[in-house]
Chains A and B, each alone.
Chain A
Amino acid sequence: MDAIKAIVESLIFVAGSPLTVKKIAECIDGATEQEIRGAVQSLIADYEGRNSGVRIVNVGGGYQMRTREDMAQWIRKFMGLKPVALSRAALETLAVVAYRQPVMKSEIEKVRGVDVSGTLKGLLEKNLVRIVGRKDVPGRPIIYGTTKKFLEVFNLMDLSELPTLRELKELESSE
Chain B
Amino acid sequence: MSEQVHNRLAMVRAERKVSRQRLAEAVGVHYQTIGYIERGQYNPSLDLALKVAAFFGLPVEALFSLEPFQPLTDQVYGHGKDS
Is B truly associated with A? no
